[in-house]
Each structure stands twice: as structure tokens, then as C-alpha cells.
Amino acid sequence: MSAQHRKTVLITGCSSGIGRAAARLFQQQGWQVAATQRNPAAEAELNRLPGVICPRLDVTDPASIQSAVAETIAAFGRIDVVVNNAGYALMGAFETHSEAQVRRQFETNVFGLMEVCRGVLPHLRGQRAGTLINVASMVGRIPLPLYSVYNASKFAVEGFSEGLVYELEEFGVQVKLIEPGAVKTNFFGRSSDRANGTGETAYAHYTAEQLSVMDDIGACGSESEDAAAVIWAAANDSSRRMRYSVGTDAKALLFVRRLLPDATFQRMIRLSLSRMAFNSVGRLLYKQA
Ligand SMILES: NC(=O)c1ccc[n+]([C@@H]2O[C@H](COP(=O)([O-])OP(=O)(O)OC[C@H]3O[C@@H](n4cnc5c(N)ncnc54)[C@H](OP(=O)(O)O)[C@@H]3O)[C@@H](O)[C@H]2O)c1
């Protein structure tokens, strides 16, 4: 296929995990890929693949968004799909977080994602075609303990994205949401911002037990490639479908959530997150097929 007819995707947060797997998959499928990263100088693989460039893009730095978009259009002529993937989780009891930690969570997961949309929308509207794919989370619809600020950031992504669906349809721009359950990435390790032991300590016992269960859930998670395959499917789905879950945990919990009243559902979540229950039946629920 000539470069003129190949589609182009711009993805944020391609240094690891889901973004990286998505960049590889789109490239393998013959797309032109802007695999953006905060620190592309450290990249040694993606930038050697044909049809891939790695512009610097930090979602909290609007100038880097503008230049990454311009670099991508200069290299490939257009952008067809934008995957807003960059993000991380602030983990721990709300009271143990500083205001700066809370703001940083929103600066990245919410305001950063919005700025990327602001940066690409004139181009997508101008060509009267394009797809925004926002990586939210299962917890953007099913909040979990010790993720209260992260939950809130992903609820914001859900609300923002659904509003955009209506605003952008007359311009031929689609908006889609990816809702992963647990995925085995740096999300549970290097990328997470965890309660740092300062501040309110009344939660120490609960936090220690619960975060260790969360880490075990993470270790049972889907592969990054599974999430990338769902992003790929969303990018190629011209129907009006908006939400795409990833993993059996997300699919099962989102289904059960629709059926149960709040209090019953919360009892089920409490039970499934207890160490004892997780070690017996919970592992089965979270173990990905
Ligand atoms: N893994 C899960 O269980 C899970 C579940 C639901 C949703 N998600 C969502 O999936 C997305 C990808 O996460 P992941 O699981 O693939 O984790 P990951 O391996 O930690 O990847 C996160 C990526 O985001 C980048 N990033 C963080 N802050 C950034 C910023 N300010 N500007 C640009 N890039 C930034 C990281 O870059 P650096 O290398 O520079 O830090 C990294 O490339 C996130 O939005 C996350 O919330 C993950």
C-alpha cells in the first residue's frame, strides 16, 4: 500500500505497556505510527520499525503536544486515529495523598488527555474524519478502594468522552472508550504513585493488605497485547459503539454491576478483595482466560 493510502495513528505513552503493544500492533497491520513518549531518547526499538516515528509528547506539556502533532502530520500527511493512552494510578487512602499528588493525577489522566484532544481536533475536524480512542478503565465505571483519586480521574475521562461523542459527530469524528480491567504492565509497579507513608496513618493496616491483594490481581491480569487488540478493533469499528472492555474481569464486573443494587454490589467487591476470598475464589474471577 502506498504511504498516501496508509492510515496514521498517534498514540500517547508508548514507552511501555498498553501504548507500546498498540504501537507494535498498528505497525504490524501496516499503519503509520507516531509512538509518542515523554523520553524518546531512551527508545531503541520502535523508532527502528518502518513507518514509525517517536515524537516527544508529555501530556502535561502543551508545547510538546503541538509539536508532536505537527511532526506527525509533516511525516505522514494526516492523522486518522488518536489513542489517548498515557496515564498512571495514584494508589492509597485519599487522606494520605498530598494536594500536589492529587493535582498531578488529574494533570496527567484528565487535563493532559483533554489537551491532546485540543491539539488534534482542529486537524480531525478539518479533514471531517477521525477517531479519538480514550483509554479509561473499568474503574471509570466501577470504583475500587485505594484508587479514589484514580477512579475519579477515569470517571472524568468517561464523562468527557461521552460528551464529545455528540459534539463531534457532525464533523465525522468518532469517540471511543477503552475500559481495561487489570493488565500486567508497569501500572502496578514503576508507574504507580503509592501512599508514601506520610500523613494519616490510621489506614496503614487496611492499605497494606488491600494493596497487596491489588498487586496480586495485577499479576493475574490480561496481557498488554490483549488491550492493544481491543484498541485495534475500536479503531477499525465504524459503528456507533462507544465502550470496549478488556479482560474477563472487566467484562464480568461491568455486567454484574448493571444487575445489582449499590449495596449488594459493594458487598461483593468487599468480599472479592479480601485476602482470604482472593486466595480461594477471587483468583478465578481475576485470572484472565
Ligand atoms: N494496567 C492496568 O491494569 C490498567 C487498567 C486500566 C486502565 N489502564 C490505563 O492504561 C493506560 C496505560 O497504562 P499501562 O497499564 O500500559 O501502564 P504503563 O506500562 O505504566 O504505561 C503508562 C504509559 O504512560 C506514560 N505516561 C505517564 N505519564 C505521562 C505523561 N505525563 N505524558 C506522557 N506519557 C506519560 C508512561 O511514560 P513514562 O515511561 O515516561 O512514565 C508510560 O508510557 C493508562 O491510562 C492506565 O490508566 C491500565
Q: How far, in Å, from the CA of 16 to the mean position of ligand 1? A: 7
pLDDT band at 277 (very low <50, low <70, confident <90, very high): confident
> 3-class secondary structure for the chain?
CCHHHCCEEEECCCCCHHHHHHHHHHHHCCCEEEECECCHHHCCCHHHCCCEECCECCCCCHHHHHHHHHHHHHHHCCCCEEEECCCCCEECCHHHCCHHHHHHHHHHHHHHHHHHHHHHHHHHHHHCCEEEEEECCHHHCCCCCCCHHHHHHHHHHHHHHHHHHHHHHHHCEEEEEEEECCECCHHHCCCCEECCCCCCCCCHHHHHHHHHHHHHHHHCCECHHHHHHHHHHHHCCCCCCCEEEECHHHHHHHHHHHHCCHHHHHHHHHHHCCHHHHHHHHHHHHCCC
7-11, 43-47, 169-173, 189-193: least confident range: 189-193
- Distance from Cα 190 to the centre of ligand 1, integer Å: 10
Q: Predicted confidence band at 201 (pLDDT cuts at 50, 70, 90)?
A: confident
- Band the pLDDT of 279: cuts 50, 70, 90: confident
pTM of the model: 0.96
- Mutation pick for ligand 1 pocket among 67, 85, 101 (CB with most ligand atoms within 8 Å): 85
The CATH classification of domain 3-203+223-248, taken from the options 3.40.47.10, 3.30.365.10, 1.10.3720.10, 3.40.50.720: 3.40.50.720
Q: Active site includes 286?
A: no
Q: Which atom of ligand 1 is nearest to the CA of 14?
A: 43
**Which one is catalytic: 150, 206, 244, 286?**
150
Going by pLDDT thresholds of 50, 70 and 90, the confidence category of residue 198 is low
pLDDT score, position 253: 95
Contact 12 CB / ligand 1 (< 6 Å): yes
The pLDDT score that the predictor gives to residue 259 is 97
User: Would the pLDDT of 221 be above 70?
Assistant: yes
- Does the pLDDT of residue 197 top 60, yes or no? no
Q: Predicted confidence band at 205 (pLDDT cuts at 50, 70, 90)?
A: confident
